[in-house]
Amino acid sequence: MLDGKKTLFSGMQATGTITLGNYLGALKNWLDLDKEYECFYSVVDLHSITVRQDPAELRKRARNLLMLYLAAGLDPEKNCIYYQSHVSAHAELGWILNCFTYMGELNRMTQFKDKAAKHADNINAGLYTYPVLMAADILLFQSDVVPVGADQKQHLEITRDIANRFNAIYGDVFTIPEPYIGKQGAKIMSLQDPTKKMSKSDENPNASIILLDDTDTIIRKFKRAVTDSEAIVRYSDDKPGISNLMTIYSTMTGKTYEEIEREFDGKGYGDFKLAVGEVVANGLKPIQDRFYELSKDKAYVDGIIKNNAEKANYYARKTLRKVQKKVGFPEMPR
């Protein structure tokens, strides 16, 4: 707990521009959390290098992600928005926690198996110990709550296990984080395969709406979205394509599925796809405009990066010093 508020931590990887799914499923729902929580939002670039990255491209994407956080409406005065690589305590605590994590626990991590299958030529130790660094991310700020999707539940569970193990040996060092249970973000699926989650790493460019896509691109992608042959706008589990489009339209407009079904009664999929494309393009335009404004104001963005890194380092070092003392590392003489 910091300044009388519970602490919340979350972050996104700096690999590729975030999608409509990232925005509606997570980022949009972060905007009001600073009223209740002391929030730390990281651009998790340390995690990004488990897969080979072009250095210049990684720097560009990391900055773009941070600017998208800001453009979407996160206030840098009320939220700590920072690069993970600017806070060395992430890596330092990660190493210590490696020594309190069992091989059997890491062997059970399904995400490692998935990523190893995709990157068979680069199955590195960082990919294997990724969950321990994620645990360090969370525990470093004594996080009370962490917003997690279904694919991250395992990582929060191992974080809790590591923290409980450390506390059992050394006393109450770490806050045991709970999953954030609040307004659930919409789960947005691929436009080309609606049985899979929309992903920025999808090789099919028509599968995802990128937050910086222009209006023509957005509408073209929605026109090409996979649906079914029934041509009736109706929400149903056996209509994953049209149901996904209805979820997007509902989230952007606030309309219920019943209202959407009435609105498009007697109309075909062509009309509906166009309407979804237009409402998404219009909804993203203010974010895009703000992003391009920020990209021209280097001094302002650099100031946010510097100030927020200092704040993150201050709180991170407090936890790290406590941990170092507990495990027996000598203090630096003053």
| Crossing angle (nearest 10°) for helices 298-327 and 153-170 | 40
Model pTM score = 0.89
Residues of the chain predicted below pLDDT 70:
1-3, 16, 149-151, 182-185
Among 166, 141, 127, which Cα is nearest to 10's? 141
The predicted structure's pLDDT at residue 110: 78
The predicted structure's pLDDT at residue 135: 96
What is d(CA 323, CA 100) in angstroms, rounded to the nearest whole number? 12
DSSP state of 56: H
Query: Quick one: tokens of 90?
Result: 């992430």
What is d(CA 33, CA 184) in angstroms, rounded to the nearest whole number? 13
Q: Which one of 28, 115, 221, 273 is the catalytic residue?
A: 115
The predicted structure's pLDDT at residue 304: 97
Q: Which helix (H) or strand (E) holds 138?
A: helix 130-140
Strand residue runs (E) in the chain: 6-12, 37-43, 79-83, 145-146, 178-179
Q: What are the boundaries of each domain within the chain?
A: 6-180+298-327, 215-293
The Cβ of residue 304 has, within 10 Å, a number of other Cβ atoms equal to 18
What is d(CA 300, CA 66) in angstroms, rounded to the nearest whole number? 12
The predicted structure's pLDDT at residue 183: 64
Per-residue pLDDT tens digits for 190-213: 999 999 989 877 889 999 999 999
Residue with tokens 């149903």: 236
Q: Which one of 78, 196, 197, 285 is the catalytic residue?
A: 197
Per-residue pLDDT tens digits for 309-334: 999 999 999 999 999 999 999 998 88
What is d(CA 244, CA 188) in angstroms, rounded to the nearest whole number? 7
Q: Report the number of secondary-structure helices (H) and strands (E) in the chain.
A: 15, 5
The predicted structure's pLDDT at residue 180: 85
Q: Which one of 60, 78, 200, 285 is the catalytic residue?
A: 200
Please tell me whether residue 32 adopts helix, strand or coil conformation: coil
CATH topology of domain 6-180+298-327: Rossmann fold (3.40.50)
DSSP state of 84: G
Query: Quick one: tokens of 116?
Result: 């190893």
Among 193, 9, 192, 172, which Cα is nearest to 84's? 9
All residues at 6 or more sequence positions from 138 whose CB lies less than 8 Å from its CB, including other chains: 9, 146, 156, 159, 177
Whether 197 is a known active-site residue: answer yes
The predicted structure's pLDDT at residue 108: 86
36 Ramachandran zone, left/alpha/beta (phi>0; psi -120 to 50): alpha
Query: Quick one: tokens of 20?
Result: 């409509």
Structural class in CATH, domain 215-293: mainly alpha
Please tell me whether residue 232 adopts helix, strand or coil conformation: coil
What is d(CA 167, CA 160) in angstroms, rounded to the nearest whole number? 10
Among 52, 198, 61, which Cα is nearest to 127's? 52
Q: Which helix (H) or strand (E) holds 273?
A: helix 269-295
Whether 200 is a known active-site residue: answer yes
